[in-house]
Every structure is written in structure tokens, then in C-alpha cells.
Chains A and B, each alone.
Chain A
Amino acid sequence: MLAIEGLSKRFGGVQAVQRVDLQVRQNEILGLIGPNGSGKSTIVNLVTGVYAPTEGRVRLRARDITGWAPHRVLAAGIGRTFQSIRLFGGLTVWQNLWVARQAQAGAGRLRGWLAVDRAGMKRIEATLEFCRLLDRRDELARNLAFGEQRRLELARTLTADPEVVLLDEPAAGMNVAEIEELRDRILTLKQRGKTIVLIEHHMELVMEVAERVAVLNFGEKIAEGPPARVQDDERVREAYLGKRRD
């Protein structure tokens, strides 16, 4: 579904990502883990066109989308959430989703601004319900609680109905109940046919939902496989806990 081939990114003297290969299969949940600064978010930014890679290709269903602008990547079917929340704080919950829907449907053309988009309204309603925000639809985004803002960010991404969803640390700052709710929501998304890449520090969540896990360290992929096997991998333990001295 999504193929990352020999992807590298260098920022000045820092090699943030080094020749990473990654295959994400259709309708699977792939966990992408690694210590801070291991290059996880850089990969998301490379895939979604925020950064252009120094080397390598990104393909979606065999179509080369390397270096495409973010809005084209979104239109092609890859949506993402952000590690740090980036909502339109001065707009209501509904309007946040509406702007995303509008951009995706009409690319901001006059026709899009004038026509009544009933299908879009239905989709927004359904997405708000799915993310348990329907009763908050008229609240300004900046007035929402943290967990609600996280849900709104996911909702805004889902409004565009992407085939592949990249979740960049969706559980950061959430409490246990909220993480459980998030887990159920991710599993429901899979049931609905989405392909999901979950970047997360919260190991329990990753191990529970991911079918495969890839581990990054210093920009390189050091392990890949089923969660249980990756957890027992010596290099992964070293990356997280440091090398054993004996």
C-alpha cells in the first residue's frame, strides 16, 4: 500500500533518517517506535511532503509521490495528525472540519465556496460522532480540553477520508481512559478498512494494536516484525535501555 524505499534526510550535518525501507500493507496497523530523536516524525514529514527527502522514494499503491506538496499527498489518500496539536483555535469544532473538507473537495475554488455540500456535511457529522465531539460542535477549538483537541485533530484528518492514516503520537498527554478510547478508535478504523501507521511512545498501546512494529534508532531501522519478537530483540533493548556492560 505505502512503500518507503531507501529514504534518507539530512539536515545540515545531521543525518535524521538513513536509508530506511518500510512496507505498509493494506489494512494493517504498523507501529513505528524508537527513542526520542530517532527519526520517526521526520519520516512522517517526508511521506506527507512537509520535507523533501535527500534520497529515496515514497510510493502509494505503486504511484511515486516523492516530494509532492502536502495538499497533494492528502488528496492522494494519506492523512496525518500532528505530534503538537495544530488546530484553528479561533474556529469552532465544526468549522475546523469544514475547512479540511472544503480544501479536499473543492481546493478552495469559487464553486466550492458557493455550492451546498450535503455529502460533506453528512461526512463531518459522522466523523464528529465517531470522535465523540458531536455535542461540542459549536465550541471554539481553543476552548476544548486537551483530550478533546486531540480527538478533533484526528477528526479533522478523517474528514478528508484518507486511505492511509499516519498518527504521530496520538496518545501523548492522554490519561489511561483516553488511551483506551483511542485504542478502540484505532481498531475501529482498521475494521473500516483504513491502513494505519502508529508512531507512539506508549508501548502498551503499540503492542496491543499493531500487527507489525518497526523500530528506528539514530535514523536507521534496526528491527521489524511482530510486536512480541521485536520486544525481545537485543538491539531494540539496547536502543531503549542502553548497552549492557558485562
Chain B
Amino acid sequence: MVDFLQALVDGVMLGATYSLLGLGFTLIFGVLRRLNLAFGPTILVGIYAGSHLSLAWPGALVPVVAVTVAGALLAGVYVERFSFRALARQAPVVSMISTFAVWMQLQELVSLLSPSRTMPYPSPVWLPAVAVGPILLRSDGLLMWSGATLIMLALFALLYRTRFGTTIRAVADSSEAATLMGVNVAMVGAAAFLVASAVGGLAGVLIAQSHQQVTPYFGLWATVKGMTAMLLGGAGSLPGAVVGGLALGVVETQTLWHFGGQWRDLVSYALLFLVVALSPRTRWGSGL
């Protein structure tokens, strides 16, 4: 029972960051109706930039966080400009293939510009773990959970409580009607992309401080986790992405505790397959 609870708590803490990745994916997919495979790699660029800075300037946590988010934003602008805006008149699959090419570019770029494949990322390791009865809350996990929860609250406030967010949701709801109402749909799409990139960058900070290191395969990892969270939540629903991310985190840690690490990914993808196969009414992109 304690094992189950411990795995559940660990899963929620881990899953909160998957939710963030899922939200970033959902924002882009919901507004632009196109899949951005380069979402993970844009975060990778940010984390590598942060890692470089931390090597040059040890102990500078706030600048490292700022540079990580700025790096993800910059890479996001690159993807938006060349894989989405430049190809807006092409079929969605063309954008997707283009994001795959950008993914490879970014992955190679960070490998070339780094002294080693595995780079360290600073973590506030001095923070103590908290014990609640028999359950141990590790500091990096607590940081992931609390950080992700704050970012999600801010994001939901932005999308559901501001005019900017209302306009984004209107375009996601019906870009055709929004165009006819006079909304500048291209600009709203670019803005949503930037918000998603910033959320991705912040998720990157939270995940990298927990891993304490990063490799060029982080891009693949983040894309897969984010896409799975989005798909588990029904592809296109923001609350769905949060639930999807949490579910993925819990399933991963429960499998890890009870069956061992080698089964973790197999079970999560089996879950994804089952959800997609068994829910004919999955809301494939019907508004945020």
C-alpha cells in the first residue's frame, strides 16, 4: 500500500511536467490544426543554452532559467516562421514533415555546439526532501509539481480570463468564423505558438533540474511525452492535456515500482494505443 501511494505521489509530481508539455502541444495543435514534432527539440535548445550558461557562471540559477526559456522561445520563433507561417497554404502534413526536418537540425546543432553529448543542468539539490508519514517527497519532484501547477494556473488564467485568451480560443473553435469576423488569424496563431514555446521552456527547466543533465535525445523524449499527454487527453482539449499528462506520469511510476523500469514505456504506449483505439468519440481537435 505504501509502495502504491509513493508511486502515485511520484507519478503526480512527474506527470505535472508531462501536462505542461501536453498543454504546449495542445495550444499549437488546437489553434493551427497542425502537429509540431519540433516542440521537444525547441525545449532542448533552451536547456542546452541554460546548461552552457551554468557551466560558465555556476550558481546563477535565475539567469539559467531565463536563458533556458529564452532559448526555447527563440527556437519556437524559428519553427513558427519556417515550418508553419511559410507553409500556411500547404497541406498540414507538409508542415509536419518540415517540423521533423527542423527537429533533426536542432538536435544536430546542439550536439555540434556542445563539448560533450551529456551536459549538466543545475538543480537546487540543497533543498531538503519532505517526509509525510511513510511517503517521501523529493525536492526535485516537489519543485516539478509546484512549478508546473503554478504555470498551469497562469496559463489557464491567460486563456480563460483574458481577451487575448478568448481570441485564441475563438480561433481554435472556428478559424473560418474568426476570419470572417475580422480576426487576424495568422497573428493569433503566432502568438499561441509563442505562449506554447514559453510554457515548453519552463517545463524544460523543471524537468532538467530533476534529471540534472541533458542529452540531444531530450528532444525526442519531450515530443513523445507531450504528444502522448495530448492524445491521452483527447487531442485539442486543454483540461484533457492536464489529465493526460498526470495519467501518463502515474502509469509510468506505478509500472516502474511494480514491474521494473524496462516495462515502463511499453505500458504507457499500450495505454495510449488503447485510449486511441477504444474511444471513437475522442474529440480530435474540436476547440480548446
Binding site for B on A (CB under 8 A): 48, 50, 70-71, 74-75, 86-91, 95-96, 98-100, 102-104, 107-108, 112-113, 156, 160
Contacts and interface: CB of A to CB of B under 8 A. Distances in A.
Given A91-B169, A91-B170, A100 B181 contact: yes
A108 B174 contact: no
A70 B182 contact: yes
Interface stretch (B183-191, B240-248, B259-267, B269-277): B183-191
Contacts of A71: 179-184
26 contacts: A48-B180, A50-B180, A71-B182, A74-B180, A75-B182, A86-B177, A87-B174, A88-B169, A88-B177, A88-B287, A89-B174, A90-B287, A98-B163, A99-B166, A99-B167, A99-B178, A102-B163, A102-B183, A103-B178, A103-B183, A104-B181, A107-B182, A107-B184, A108-B184, A108-B187, A113-B167
A96 B177 CA distance: 10
B271 to A, nearest CB: 27
Given A90-B287, A102-B163, A108-B188, A70 B180 contact: yes
Nearest to B162: A113
Given A90-B172, A113-B162, 17 more contacts: A48-B180, A70-B182, A71-B179, A71-B182, A87-B174, A88-B169, A88-B178, A89-B287, A91-B173, A95-B166, A95-B169, A96-B170, A99-B181, A103-B184, A104-B182, A113-B164, A113-B167
B166 A87 contact: no
Contacts of B108: none
B288 interface: yes
B3 interface: no
Task: Output the residue of B169, B170, B174, B187 with the most chain A CB within 10 A.
Answer: B170
B181 A108 contact: no
B287 A74 contact: no
Task: Output the residue of B173, B184, B187, B188 with the most chain A CB within 10 A.
Answer: B173
B173 A113 contact: no
Contacts of B188: 108
A70 B178 CA distance: 10
A113 B187 CA distance: 13
Nearest to B188: A108
